[in-house]
Amino acid sequence: MTKISSETGVSDSRLAQQADWSEGDEASDEDFKPLTTAQAAVWRKSQVQISVWQVLGSQALVGALVGGVIATLGHEVAAKSLWYGGLAVWLPAVLMAWGVLRGKMTRALSVFPRGSFAALMFWEGVKVLLSVLLMAVAPWVLKQVDWLALLAGLVVVIKVNGVALWWVSRVPRKVN
């Protein structure tokens, strides 16, 4: 039976686990050695780099292709809904990328220690709100909405992010 400490309300076994974890953290801190400038440069060269604009271009291409396939099958309402669903993800992502990478507010905030994070959170909020707004006005924009196709467009375009990262990372880079 596990004893519960009357002072903390935490079981003795839980306290023992926490003690073990803290010892592990101290040991790992002692083993940590920062990289030299040369080692950091070699590490950076070994990392795969992908542009946010390449990912956004891939999202637009995949959304258009999948919608085109649906349109060729004769499902016009579903194709328009799928395209609109993809647009509801893609357009806010483009706005966020522009704001984070080139926005004046982001540059102004980046001089403060937490400013870059605040700017990222601001643009993420703008992206989410714009996506929700675009989905909310879908019935007025499209007149006829196939909600399943709209959701499929959202999912397909969102999933392109993961596929693009996997595609780029599958081939290891050679370090000279």
Domain carrying residue 104: 52-169
The answer, yes or no, to whether residue 127 has pLDDT greater than 90, is yes
Structural domain contains residue 85: yes
pTM across the whole model: 0.70
Residue 118 inside a domain? The answer is yes
The verdict on residue 43 lying in a domain is no
Does 29 reside within a domain?
A: no
Tell me the C-alpha distance between 109 and 95, whole Å: 18
pLDDT exceeds 70 at position 108: yes
pLDDT tens sequence across 56-88 = 998 999 999 999 999 999 888 999 999 999 999
160-169: long-range pairs with CB below 8 Å, 24+: 160/55, 160/58, 160/59, 160/62, 160/63, 161/55, 161/59, 163/58, 164/50, 164/54, 164/55, 164/58, 165/50, 165/55, 168/48, 168/50, 169/48
Q: What is the pLDDT of residues 86-99, one digit of tens each?
A: 999 999 999 999 98
Per-residue pLDDT tens over the stretch 19-63: 555 555 555 667 788 888 988 888 888 877 778 888 899 899 999
Q: What is the pLDDT of residue 130?
A: 96
What pLDDT is stored for residue 29 in this prediction?
A: 62
Tell me how far CA of residue 92 lies from CA of 34, 56, 62, 155, in angstroms.
38, 11, 17, 15
Tell me how many domains the chain contains. Answer: 1
| Dihedral of the alpha carbons of 100, 65, 173, 46, in degrees to the nearest 10 | 10
138 assigned to some structural domain:
yes
Does 90 reside within a domain? yes
